Structure 1
Amino acid sequence: MSGGNGLRVRPTSIPGLLVLDLPVHADGRGWFKENWQREKMTAQGLPDFGPVQQNVSFNDAVGTTRGVHAEPWDKLVSVATGRVFGAWVDLREGPGFGAVVTEELGPDRAVFVPRGVGNAYQTLEPATAYAYLVNAHWRPDVAYTFLDAGDARTAIPWPIPLEQAVRSERDLAHPRLDDVVPVPARTPVVLGGDGRLGRALRRAMPEAAFLARGDLDVTDAAAVAAHDWSRHSAIVNATAYTDVDGAESAAGREAAWRVNASGPALLAAAARAHGLPLVAVSTDYVFDGSRGDHREDEPVAPLGVYGQSKAAGELAAAGAPEHWILRTSWLVGEGRDFVRTMRELAARGVDPVVVADQVGRLTFADELARAVRHVLEVRPPAGVYHVSNGGAARSWFDVARRVFELAGADPERVSPTSTAEYAAGRPAAPRPARSDFDLAKIRATGFAPRDQDEQLAEYVARLGDDA
């Protein structure tokens, strides 16, 4: 027996369902094959699906028929001895629902079955055994989707008529296609869905699942481990402890490290275990701000506890094999933010004193949400990316004056001060003097940041409409 000298992975008419032609090396003693070879198979187009469990099904009689079962994980099925007729039915929601592919499998042929595609096998020789690798551990509480192997609509051409086949009582009770509820598509899950970025992500990614802290505490190891990640296609961590000054207290330090460092470590472990990409959001506070135009490869040098905890969170998030860490700065969006405060002061006739020696760029939450969606769609190389709005870097003082001007108030009412003068007599964490990013790396992925002045004008106009 010989399967040829080359491995081949070929697509089928069901998206994601792949057939593998395997080289089988035989001599007078028997035969040998590489049943799973990650490097070679992924190079041929097989997803790097990360198997964690192997099962073997032994079938004594010819005509033993199992299925149709659609599991909530991916699997690679191959024959150890004998031959089987395989049938696969797309049970995922979408235009391909009900599509059928059949193939005969032997030691020289395997099949990769993606989540939600129903699979069934009928033995063609006695003492047939086939093995399958899956990328999630079997759990008794995980729901399967089933289909009657004799459904008239799918009309699977079984070599041995089902009335002559060996089938289980459970398989005999499976529903017809008209009664099958399609397997829903996996969607990204956003953790921190009730925060400023979370609310912007609801607009940018309405198809995603959104979990607030009350739904899943990312700092609770047991809760993260128990969550059903099989429903999700990616993890977006929008949770954060952001009280920069409060982080300098004993209680704040503990909370900052728990949320900003321990939480990302637990999510990275979940992403690694379930083969999911992870998007994590970080901050300009990982830099000391002694220079501007920060590049992604600049060594981090956080000044305060908040920045230190976020830098640790970056290292933890990088533990996910496929990860994108989006550093951002000066986030503006729904809720209390600097721009909204300045707009209200302008309307109330209050003349603020604003720091003029901290320089950076605004990042509107909608723009950051757009960047999150972008990396999930484009899937650039894993790593750190700087994301903010574009345009010239400005100080907080410059931004405040512009807000007053856009609100129809005299910008001369805004007075400048230094960080040291502003912090005198009050507990304040150290802040980077320069927070402006080099945006070349994110631009190279095809993302074009909007100009901050343009988006600021739109934002202030909306605030005026809501007043």
Structure 2
Amino acid sequence: MTILNVETFAIPGPALITVAAHGDDRGWFSESWNAQDWRDAGLPHIDWVQDNKAFSAAPGTTRGLHFQTPPHAQAKLVDVLRGEIFDAIVDLRAGSPTFGRAITVRLSAQAHSLLYVPVGFAHGYQTLSTNTLVAYKVSDHYAPECEGGLLWCDVSLGIEWPRPDDVVMSGRDFTWPGLAELDTPFAYQA
């Protein structure tokens, strides 16, 4: 995982990490995880415990905005293996100077970039191509009793989804509360 660049945002914590891809006539090779390179780049220590994959056949498939509450809160490391996504995260840490603010990025298999999402953020994405495959590491195991979400289309978040009127989505994702109704389980720690 030779890290070429770590881009930080106006919201402290998340990072966009670009890794090297070594190519030849056969295609390319890239490490998706290397603990030493992660530490050398000054990124926070994370014990990743589970790898997940999500396949979406149709463009406009929207997943999120999701999080897990303590004691099973999750940090995530998001990687696109095939296709392209519009990724969005929202700061849910009570007391944070950036509470309720969103960060959006486009991730694609060709860009070789990963998005680090710390604990305390809601996460979601919308596919921009057919047959999109997303992989992500998480720092705690899936715990259904700790599942939470934030309404993806809450206008107060200021997220400009590329396909706002043409989404393929789980019914439950239409029922999450908006930011004003959310009782956040996360606290900001300076």
TM-score of the pair, normalised by structure 1: 0.37
Matched, 1:122 2:139: no
Aligned to 1:110: 114
| Amino-acid identity (%) | 38
Matched, 1:34 2:36: no
Offset, 1:101: 0.6
Matched, 1:140 2:144: yes
Structure 1 gaps of 5+ residues are: 188-376, 378-467
Q: 1:148 to 1:166 in 2, by over 3 A?
A: same
- How many pairs align? 182
Matched, 1:63 2:60: yes
Deviations 1:301-349 (A, max 9, x none): xxxxxxxxxxxxxxxxxxxxxxxxxxxxxxxxxxxxxxxxxxxxxxxxx
- Structure-2 separation of matches of 1:145 and 1:81: 27
Residues 152-191 of structure 1 mapped to structure 2, 5 A cutoff: 152-161=155-164, 163-185=165-187
Offset, 1:186: 7.8
Larger relative contact order (Cα-Cα within 8 Å, sequence gap ≥ 6): 2
Q: Report SS of the residue matched to 1:79.
A: strand
Offset, 1:26: 2.7
- Structure-1 separation of matches of 2:47 and 2:178: 32
Aligned to 2:153: 150
Matched, 1:131 2:135: yes
- Structure-1 separation of matches of 2:129 and 2:185: 32
| More helix by percentage | 1
Displaced runs of 4+ in structure 1, greater than 6 A? none
Q: Report SS of the residue matched to 1:167.
A: coil
- Structure-1 separation of matches of 2:3 and 2:75: 24
Bigger-Rg structure (1/2): 1
The residue type paired with residue 123 of structure 1 is T
- Structure-2 separation of matches of 1:139 and 1:145: 10
Superposed CA RMSD in Å reads 1.9
CA contact (8 A) 2:3 2:17 kept: no
Offset, 1:40: 0.8
TM-score of the pair, normalised by structure 2: 0.89
Offset, 1:144: 3.0
The residue type paired with residue 106 of structure 1 is S
The residue type paired with residue 124 of structure 2 is A
Q: Report SS of the residue matched to 1:67.
A: strand
Q: 1:119 to 1:45 in 2, by over 3 A?
A: same
Matched, 1:85 2:86: yes
- Structure-1 separation of matches of 2:150 and 2:142: 20
Aligned to 1:13: 10
